[in-house]
Structure 1
Amino acid sequence: MTSSTEQHGLDEEFEHKPVPLSHRHRLSSVAAVWFGFPMIITNAVFAGIIAYNLGFSRALLAILIGNAILLAYVGTLSFIAGNTGRSFALQAERTFGKKGYAITSGFLASVVVGWFAFQTGLTGTTVHASFGWNETATIVAATLLYTAVTFIGIRALSIVGMIAAPLYLILGFAALYLIGSEHSLSGVLAYDGLGANSMMSFGGAITLVVATFADSGTMTADFTRWSKDGESAVYATLTAFPFANMVAQVFGVVIVCAGAAAAPATEGGNFMSVLTSHGGVLSAIALIFVFVNLGSVCTHCLYNGAVGWGRIANRKMRTMTVLLGLLGGVLAVAGVWSLFLNWLNLLGVLVPPIGAVIIVDQILVRHYSYDDDVPNFRGSAFAAWACGAFVAVLVHATAPWFSDAVAGMLVGGFAYYALSQGARRAVRQRNSLL
């Protein structure tokens, strides 16, 4: 029996139950969702900042290691999602409890809505700075556009990815061509960065790479639950990490190392000014690029938030898309989005241990396919998350030379495994005494 959404031409989004095999999508469709997501100007900005501090070779190594971590982390969560069809909220429910999941899922769903507001506000300021358009009107238009696309569902995200990735590559190469006509690219490989004057450590650079997708990467199940199986879900993730993510980042690295970045310390390898300064057709395409590029981030984040809060509030994804989209738009218009960046980055430190606990629970402790009873709250999962988050914050504050994201993952995962094994031993000892 078809649902009301399917009768109106929109696919069911399965907010409250696993995606059945009959509704799974082909690999190319799921891959397009992930492949187009990292192809964003933000990646060029962050990668350029890393290169400005560390130099070409060390920046490239940090990016490679960061992407390897993302592949292992996001790929494993995707494998579980592809085999079960469960969204992130449903994954979290099995690990953190039938009621406890609302804390972790609600936390991440709120963080990604914050990113939606930030990127929507950034759309307005970017278009205003580059083309002189009214900033508030642009933010309102962007909010309506991004919300409408997300409302369509997962298939719309796939289409956005198919457009965003090729457009990024075309304009990225166009920017390099224009830069090459004005700057020599021969010194790129020898660029040393700030050297001893750098305030960024190698571990901090790895954290920055991981942190850019710590939130939506942890919520990857919302995307990869549509895969035919776990293997297909991993392949879909592989197109993003390392391939699409590294390609997007290398553009930023090359632009900074070529000495062509306008403000490498703060804007990294942002190549928008290179495109808009030449005017004409290229400038018009750059305008489209802003909406497609930032829209890719916004639609993915809003979809994550809507699926997560839809499950918690027992509402449809599309209902939450409208409500959260309007909330994000109000925050963006009010200018509050400009205060979010440091806050969101700090929260990003707390996210990786959540995914690590889920991975250890559903791969090592109890298999993801088991239908055992789930408690309302699983205390060991929350304790392990707290341990991982505490260590991540501690490393962030006292040992910047090490990656706080990696520290949080490792400690959270090990803590959960140790707590689970200890609980099992206690149960066995108690049973043996009976």
Structure 2
Amino acid sequence: MTTPPGTVESTAAAAGLESEFEHTPVPQTHRKSLLTVSAVWFGFPMILTNAVPGGLVVALLGFWQGLAAIVVANLIMFVYVSLLSYRAGKTGKSFALQATETFGTAGYAIASGFLATVVVGWFAFNTGATGASLNKAFGWNETLVVAVAGVAFIAVTYLGIKALSWLGAIAAPLFIVAVIIAIAIAAQRHDLGQIVNFQGVGGGAMTFGVAVTSIMATFADSGTMTADFTRWSKNGREAVLATVTAFPFASLVAQLSGGLLVAAGAIASAQTAGGDFTPILTGVNNPLLNALVVVFVVINLGSVCTHCLYNGALGWSHLTRSKMRLLTLVLGVVGVVVALLGAWNYFVNWLAFLGVIVPPLGAVLIADQIILRKRLADRAESKIRPTAFIAWAIGAVAAVVVHFGAPMLSDAVVGLIVGLVAYLAIERLAGTAAAGVGS
């Protein structure tokens, strides 16, 4: 796919929109400030759909175990995403360009295409969730809300990385305002002092390992694709600092907010609704609060939708040798159509399961580009690097085995560790074999 002159990109250029550097590293002259890149990541995890799993984990495990699972998962995500971000800030390379180095000039298409497709699925899911949320809260026409919101989300993504930072700078503070109001309302009806005594209602339905995976799975995909955001950082250090604002800070705020309100007994049917606290805000029938909920839902879910669509469009633009903005329009329309058809209801569990096999992919990138980075300078370019795919497959199989056979463990963590160790071992054996042949 190529972009004909005088179409999408020429229109974007005429509007003063800068290049998104789909096929090359971001040059130093175009890198953004720490505040800008932080706003991009900070506003992504501090969302309502991240409060939901936080509340669900606390509901099923109880306050202290749920809190521990949330903290452990976020610390792992901090290390995982920070390492990938450091490399991105140092090189200016997107996830697709990173994958090209590790999986090969042709092999990268499998890794990049896989993740770029998964995140478009999350775009469709959250666009559909926007309509469903406002329909549930106010009875609004779900189809109309999805269509209007979807168009708005596509438009914001089309503007590029700057627009994501603007939206993030609004979405995060708005979340804090909304959750503080929800806690204040809950305090009038529930004894918040009893939060620490909440024992959960799961009855063993969730293990600690599954809880850690549930928390990690919410951002395993975009977390692995962090380079698409942090490549704009001035250097590796600032890329890591920007990541810290997301993991653990913003993510913890969202998940603990949901968990605290569940433990307070303020959310009905928390074992299924999780930490969705919007009914607390609409339950008082205050017109101002109702207006806040509308703005909150659209901007909050709009933040995750635009980030996911940006990830997907950037990945697919490199795969098709096209432009990010053209793919934003194409994939955005596809995602909105899926949301309008209601198909998003049927694949959310599938998307979550795919998140189980994503960490091993990121682990291979970390092993190759961080731990064994000295080899990159002298390594010959190849179309496909079998060692990377074998290690990814070993990690993914380990994760799936744990998922079905050892639920007391975290399949995401096991897959990550196994994938990393497998790659290091395979590369070591390959190096030893090559040295033996050479001698």
User: When the two structures are superposed, what TM-score results if normalisation uses the length of structure 2?
Assistant: 0.96
User: Alpha-carbon deviation of 1:11?
Assistant: 1.3
Q: 1:62 matched to which residue of 2?
A: 69
> For residues 388 and 331 of structure 1, what CA distance do their matches in structure 2 show?
31
Aligned equivalents of 1:232, 1:3: Cα separation in 2: 32
User: Is the 8 Å Cα contact of residues 84 and 368 (structure 1) preserved in structure 2?
Assistant: no
Question: Is the Cα contact below 8 Å between 2:95 and 2:228 reproduced in 1?
Answer: yes
**Helix, strand or coil at the partner of 2:382:** coil
Name which of structure 1's ranges 361-370 and 290-299 shifts more when overlaid on structure 2. Answer: 361-370
Out of 366-375 and 394-403, give the one that drifted further.
Answer: 366-375
Match for 1:350 among 345, 353, 357?
A: 357
Distance 1:74 1:41 in 2: 21
Aligned AA (1:296): S
Root-mean-square deviation (CA), in Å?
Answer: 1.4
**TM-fit CA distance, 1:42:** 1.2
CA distance in 1, matches of 2:145, 2:269: 24
Return the alpha-carbon distance in structure 2 between the equivalents of residues 240 and 58 of structure 1: 22
- Check if 1:402 corresponds to 2:409: yes
Stretch of structure 1 that moved more, 104-113 or 38-47: 38-47
Q: Distance in 2 between matches of 1:371 and 1:26?
A: 32
Match of 2:6 in 1: none
> In the alignment, does 2:169 pair up with 1:132?
no
Q: Name the structure 1 match of 2:49.
A: 42
Instruction: Report the alpha carbon displacement of residue 372 of structure 1 after superposing the two structures with TM.
Output: 3.7
Q: Which residue of 1 aligns with 2:330?
A: 323
Pair 1:412 & 2:419 matched? yes
Distance of aligned partners of 1:364 and 1:334 in 2 relative to their CA distance in 1, 3 Å threshold: same
Q: Structure 2: how far apart are the matches of 1:213 and 1:168?
A: 18
Aligned to 2:181: 174
Aligned residues of 2:201 and 2:271 also touching (Cα < 8 A): no
Once the two structures are TM-superposed, the CA of residue 365 in structure 1 deviates from its matched residue by 2.3
Counterparts of 2:412 and 2:226, CA distance in 1 = 17
Aligned to 1:248: 254
Secondary structure at the counterpart of residue 143 of structure 1: helix
Aligned in 2, Cα 1:4/1:341: closer, same or farther, shift over 3 Å? closer
Q: Which runs of 5+ in 2 are unaligned?
A: 1-8
| Cα 1:84/1:4, change in 2 over 3 Å | farther
SS of the residue corresponding to residue 384 of structure 2 reads coil
| 1:109 matched to 2:116 | yes
Which of 235, 243, 258 aligns to 1:237? It is 243
User: Partners of 1:4 and 1:356 in 2: how far apart?
Assistant: 39
AA at the equivalent of 1:226: W
Match of 2:267 among 261, 268, 284: 261
1-structure distance, mates of 2:414, 2:228:
25
* Residues 80 and 368, structure 1, Cα contact 8 Å, conserved in 2: no
1:365–1:420 Cα contact (<8 Å) kept: no
Deviation at 1:129, TM superposition (A): 1.0
- The sequence identity of aligned pairs, in percent, is 53
- 3-state SS, counterpart of residue 197 of structure 2: coil
Which deviations, in whole Å up to 9, do the C-alpha atoms of 1:166-186 show, x marking residues without a partner? 000001000000010111111
Mean Cα deviation higher: 10-19 or 39-48: 39-48
2:21 is matched with 14
Aligned with 1:226: secondary structure?
coil
Q: Tell me the distance in 2 between the aligned counterparts of 1:95 and 1:361.
A: 7
1:215 and 2:256 are equivalent in the alignment: no
Residue type of the alignment partner of 2:281: L
The question of whether the paired residues in 2 share the 8 Å contact of 1:3 and 1:12 is answered with no
String of CA shifts for 1:306-342, please: whole Å, max 9, x gaps: 0000000011000000000000001011111100111
Tell me whether 1:384 sits opposite 2:391 in the alignment.
Answer: yes
- Partner Cα separation in structure 1 for residue 424 and residue 273 of structure 2: 41
Letter in 1 for 2:224: T
Once residues 75 and 264 of structure 2 are traced to their aligned partners in structure 1, the CA distance between those partners, rounded to angstroms, is: 26
Cα deviation for residue 363 of structure 1 reads: 1.4
Q: Secondary structure at the match of 1:402?
A: coil
C-alpha separation in 2, matches of 1:190 and 1:209: 22
What's the offset of the Cα at 1:6?
4.3
Deviation per CA, 1:213-271, whole angstroms, max 9, x where unpaired? 10000000000000000000000000111111101111111111111111201111211
Tell me: CA distance 1:100–1:406, structure 2 relative to 1, closer, same or farther (3 Å). same
SS in structure 2 at match of 1:181: helix
Structure 2 counterpart of 1:224, one-letter code: T
Greater CA drift, 12-21 or 56-65 = 56-65
Distance 1:367 1:116 in 2: 37
Distance 2:375 2:96 in 1: 14
Which of 267, 272, 280 aligns to 1:274? It is 280
